[in-house]
Structure 1
Amino acid sequence: MTRYRDIAEQLVGEIAGLPAGTRIEGEYEIAARFGVGRAAARAALQELERRMLVRRVQGLGTFTSRRIDYRISPAEAPSWSRMVRASGAVPRTVVRSCSVVPMPAEVAALLKMPEGVPCHRLHRRSFTDDVPAAYGTEWVPVSVVPELAQALRSFDSLDVILRGSTGALPRRAWTRASMAPIDPEVAAELGSRTGDPAWLVESLNDDAGSGRLLCFTQRWMRADAVRVLLETGPPPG
């Protein structure tokens, strides 16, 4: 067994009992403690990453990881915060921008609205246990929530806003999940490297009561932070 694997095995034992999101030693500290070069220290951390035991966030450090289960199911509301809490982690979402723009043709086709009608374009970064985990774009017609920017000052959950302002019961009318390499913009938001694989979950949401289309969302999720579970039928039993 090579030296970096010896180090990785020792680190596995040391971090086993730490809470998710705990910052651990970086390459310099590990190299100094074990008397090895940075290459061996880096390889040890990469081994922990491969096992999805830690997350390395550029500019912040290395953190113990706990992958949440992000369940896509007819029985589950399309809510990031609810899903994170149900998995035992702590959610937090930060609005990066919210502006009213003409609805693009591809989004208008999905929402069955005329191209160019006013639409909120919302960019948000989401965290699990205070570590970046997801980043996405949400398109909400102004006719659905006229004062979305104001509502976001009080609530960080779009699901809560839609329920409160429209009385709707949001559900997924259509969802597509795929894994693809991320571009530089998304990588910067997630603290990842450009080209790292991540989940892309696209969802068209409507009101379970009326069928009215409410929004279209595109969310990138770090694969080392989220395990996407797709359930297409009713629970067994």
Structure 2
Amino acid sequence: MPVAGREHLGTGGIGTYHHGFNRDTVQNRSRKAASSVTRTQTESIQITPPSEALADAAKWIHFGKLGSPSRRFTYHDREGNETGYMLRFDLAEQGKTIRPLTYRRDSSGHHSWQLKGFAQPHPLYNLHLLTQRPEVPVLLVEGEKSADAAVRLFPEHVVTTCMHGAKSVNKADLTPLIGRDIVIWRDHDEPGHEYARQIIEGLIKLGHLPRPDGSPPFRCNTVFLLPEPPVQRQSSDSRQKHD
């Protein structure tokens, strides 16, 4: 009888959850992948996970050498369907590391959860809330952890962030921000400054902000750029101590 099997692939600690495979089949495939990434991972594409796959992902709590994630941040599409996760691992030697977890289909039609990136352009965090509350101002922070803290502190805003921070702003889909009042609250460090700069540059390219010479198009009301919010930082740090 087919059962769901969960195995960790290879010496690199890459985990894949195969839904609907026989357990022995999964173990054999895992052994074959011990020294390299499988073709399934190489050639797969991200798809929206069905409800049974979401249930499987909730049970998957250990990821080989990475161990268990300290935090799991859920990404949604515009309709509110879960599309994948960003996992935070706090490792003894390497420190914090963030890995995406997405549901994928390979060229042979097999489906699996993989520690592999989201399709581009990357969705904004809380995309479904941006869709549900189109008239509410947007608070754009740096990182999912800060976003979750700010949601509780600023319920009059929709709080969002770009996936991977300053490293991937150019890969983010910023179009849901067009026409919105936006407050950018980035970390008070060099990556934070770069994060805000890239967001503003992206909004200019979309026509959401006026060009440097003031020429149109201009499709927003206001954009505020603020320094690191101490209240948000204290709340986030306090929550981490109790997690």
- Shorter-chain TM range is under 0.3
TM-score, length-scaled by structure 1 = 0.25
TM-score, length-scaled by structure 2 = 0.25
* Higher RCO, 1 vs 2 (CA within 8 Å, ≥6 residues apart): 1
